[in-house]
A and B are shown apart, each in its own frame.
Chain A
Amino acid sequence: MQHAIVITGIGAITPAGIGTQAFWDAVINGRQCFVESERFAPIGRLCAQVSGVDSALSDRRFRRAADISKYALVAIKETVADAGLDLAKLDPARIGLVMGITHGAINFTREFHAGFVKDGTAGASPMYFSDSVLNAPAGNVSIALNIKGPTHTVVGDSNAGFSALSYGLRLLEHGNVDVCFIGGAEELDAVTAGAYAKLNLRSPNDGGAEDIRPFAPDKNGFIIGEGACVLTLERMETAVKRGAKIYARIASADFFAQPQKAASLAPGFAGVDVLVSSGANGTRFDEFEATLLSTALSGAASMRLFCLKRLLGESFAPAGVMQTAAAALAINLSVTPPSSIAYPLPHELAVCGNTAVNAKVAVASGAGTKGSGYIVTLEAPRRDG
């Protein structure tokens, strides 16, 4: 690594509430944040939805933006404040922004199409159209904070947040930017909720209990969620120089195309205290992840397994960033979140358990389509870099 990169700020808006504190409270108390949504036509299943974004959105210029943009705006504002950054003092062209997105402003996309299908050109709204592009959240965030450096939107499945982190990390390592915000955002909508139900990926997908049981033999689908999470990344020396609070150092962020490849993570997970897994209860995705982790876990001692999506649902792109935030908070606060898993785990995850430790090294892992995944390792910061 050219430079040590650290996390100096966290911003989150999740089904647990507005802000990182609400997020962490849910994590540490094992509180599941599932409700029956009243926002779209009931389809008889739980979801994990964000409430109160409009009152949290202080910048009224964006009051008519899509929810996904509002979530991103609330999250980035919090991470900037948390990092104690005065962006006006930085060169805007040296600030980077990399957002991971899965479906984008699907509410507006649906409204735009509905207007056009019903009333032709007269029914099409320019407002819905311009906000439908998948980089609109990043665009709105850059406008709100005057970010003028590399501004990227990477689109993908639940790995997209990790992809954003990985690219932002390299921009910092190689000196392309001085500060990089990396994040993910998604919004709920009847279209995506319906599509995943149709794909038989949502709980319950075979009539069993409507609950998330990651890695359990009777896992039967995820509970769909939404929200945004944005992290502030800086080079260690910059953060130390300005006396910033440092949550954790990013020791590695690697993509694995095939589960077996994680074996290259020698010496594996020896020394890892907490594993914040994707654990979406999404049937084959859990199996991909267990396989991905198994080789890396083979040399590890016991560690705490924590599955964030058990509490906050499957929010896709932002989920990986939320997992990374949970891992960083666990290190910063020397706390291990409870796993609350009371059923036997598959043999690949045999070393994972409920043991409480003071977290010094934490891993966030993701699994996506085709068995690909990310492993992000965070460590307690050593000020000698």
Chain B
Amino acid sequence: MKRRAAITGIGVISPVGAGSDAFWQGLTSGKNAVTEVTSFSTEGFDTRVAGSISFDVHGALRWRGLAEFAFKEAVKDARIDASAINGINLGTVLGGILAGQEAWRAGIGALPAEYHLYSGADYLARKFGIKGPVNTVSTACASGTDAIGMAYRVIVWGKADVMIAGGADALSEFAFTGFNCLKAMTKTGKVKPFSKNRDGLALGEGACFLVLEELGRAQRRGARVYGLVTGYASRADAGHLTAPDREGRGLASAMEAALKEAGVKKPGYVNAHGTGTLYNDAMETKAIKLALGRGAYDTPVSSIKAMLGHSFGAGGALEAAACLLAIKYGCIPPTINYEEKDPDCDLDYVPNTARKAAIKNAVSLSAGFGGQNAAIVFEEAR
């Protein structure tokens, strides 16, 4: 019999709230957590805002602290013992090696072992006694989605019964500077995905883990099942290292493959990558139309990055949690700051206010540097 992967635990820390209840409350109330950065000087940058979390771990280990918080929450939420977990897939882009500017300032040779990108996953494995494969997945801004998708595969393939997967990244001067020099950040201080006057992204930070469990095992122990992962695909643009394919073909291909695997023709909700940049949002709209055809026009699509900012490795994982909670609570989080209709972005973006809708499934889309695209499908557990 085909093995299925259920989600039995969610752990979140995000700029709109810590814990999945606060996270969901923040998303559905349209809370804008993109505010002035206070952790470093933004003098000389195009923007002064980002989605920040009040969290007392700073420096190179901040992302690891965020990851640990979400990890514990997810395990607690799943009501399992951490020792029952077979493996970890942690998606991250910056980790400490890219985000830890303090040590880079201190000079060459000062980088401690904790800077390795894989050190976060190893730390969690050591701390919580996880014995199985411990992987760090780094596929730029698709990392969180890929980490969950790859864990789903491992369960379906019969290589593990319980996996914990997600993503984490902290706000850093490194990324702030990088996106500033790519001229990708909002100058108006508001992220406005799919809106005609959108002018760029804001960075963010956070962490999210999901507990993925073989469905039969979850049922036998009477676990609460948020939903199932039923389809996943990773696809490459093979075009440009930083710019997405203008026609959205790579993302459409990922979306089509994931929906096909799930046996879903028209999803109830599309959680968009929706960064708020001119090119991403136009590209993504084309991708959704390529994948869904006419069905794209009456499928609700929203981006929660207007509320949270773009948190790299955490992004896809937070969006996965949003999909599962949307299915559970029958409510679609809004795209806030939506102000002007754009002829290039002409889908239903659930503008500004959350919408009640009994949805059976949802697909989350992610895209990133390297021409990475990923799509993952969640369905209600029947």
Contacts and interface: CB of A to CB of B under 8 A. Distances in A.
A195 B139 contact: no
Contacts of A163: 133, 135
Interface stretch (B97-105, B271-279, B325-333): B97-105
Given A195-B112, A198-B109, A130 B182 contact: yes
Interface in A122-179: 122, 124-126, 129-136, 138-140, 142-143, 145-157, 160, 163, 166-167, 170, 173-174
Nearest to A144: B238
Interface stretch (A25-33, A100-108, A302-310, A340-348): A100-108
Given A110-B108, A121-B44, A129-B182, A174 B157 contact: yes
A372 interface: yes
Contacts of B135: 154, 156, 163
B178 A143 contact: no
Given A134-B117, A148-B236, A149-B235, A126 B372 contact: no
Nearest to A154: B135
Nearest to B159: A170
B136 A97 contact: no
Interface stretch (B203-211, B215-223, B239-247): B239-247
A120 B42 CA distance: 11
A272 B238 CA distance: 40
A354 interface: no
A192 B111 CA distance: 8
Interface string A107-123: 00110111011001110
Given A120-B44, A139-B372, A156-B118, A93 B140 contact: no
Interface residues of A, number: 68
A139 B138 contact: no
Contacts of A192: 111
A338 interface: no
B157 A150 contact: no
B108 A130 contact: no
A26 to B, nearest CB: 28
Contacts of B242: 130
Contacts of A114: 104
A63 interface: no
Contact of A121 (B109, B136, B181): B181
A258 interface: yes
Contacts of B132: 255, 257
Nearest to B86: A257
B180 interface: yes
Nearest to A170: B157
B177 A124 contact: yes
A143 B137 contact: no
Nearest to B179: A129
B199 interface: no
Interface in B123-161: 125-126, 131-140, 146, 150, 153-154, 157, 159
A191 B181 contact: no
B153 A125 contact: no
A149 B236 contact: yes
B268 interface: no
A145 B137 CA distance: 22
A121 B180 CA distance: 8
A112 B113 CA distance: 20
Nearest to A137: B370
Given A121-B45, A149-B236, A154-B137, A190 B372 contact: no
A358 interface: no
A378 B104 CA distance: 42
Nearest to A374: B133
A132 B95 CA distance: 12
A266 interface: no
B173 interface: yes
B55 interface: no
Nearest to A129: B178
Contacts of B146: 152
Contacts of B157: 170, 173-174
Contacts of B115: 195
B131 A258 contact: yes
Given A133-B369, A148-B238, A155 B138 contact: yes
A194 interface: yes
A223 B139 CA distance: 29
B178 A112 contact: yes
Interface string A190-234: 111011011100000000000000000000000000000000000
B133 to A, nearest CB: 5
Nearest to A113: B104
Contacts of A151: 139, 234-236, 370-372
A140 to B, nearest CB: 7
B174 interface: yes
Contact of A199 (B113, B153, B177, B234): B113
B229 to A, nearest CB: 15
Contacts of B236: 97, 139, 142, 147-149, 151
A58 interface: no
Contacts of B318: none
Contact of B111 (A154, A160, A191): A191
Contacts of B150: 152, 167
A138 B369 CA distance: 10
A19 interface: no
Given A133-B93, A174-B157, A372-B134, A195 B113 contact: yes
A268 interface: no
B250 interface: yes
Contact of B136 (A143, A150, A156): A156
B116 interface: yes
A163 B135 CA distance: 8
Contacts of B239: 143
Interface in B62-116: 93, 97-98, 101, 104-105, 108-109, 111-113, 115-116
A308 to B, nearest CB: 22
A142 B93 contact: no
Nearest to A69: B241
A369 interface: yes
Closest 9 CB pairs of A and B: A139-B370, A194-B109, A129-B178, A113-B104, A257-B131, A142-B236, A151-B236, A155-B136, A134-B138
28 contacts: A102-B116, A113-B101, A116-B174, A124-B181, A130-B242, A132-B98, A133-B140, A134-B93, A134-B138, A135-B138, A135-B139, A135-B370, A138-B370, A143-B241, A148-B237, A151-B236, A152-B139, A152-B234, A153-B139, A154-B136, A156-B134, A173-B157, A174-B153, A190-B109, A195-B111, A198-B109, A255-B133, A257-B132
Given A142-B237, A150-B234, 11 more contacts: A133-B368, A135-B139, A135-B368, A136-B369, A139-B370, A142-B236, A143-B238, A145-B238, A167-B150, A192-B111, A194-B109
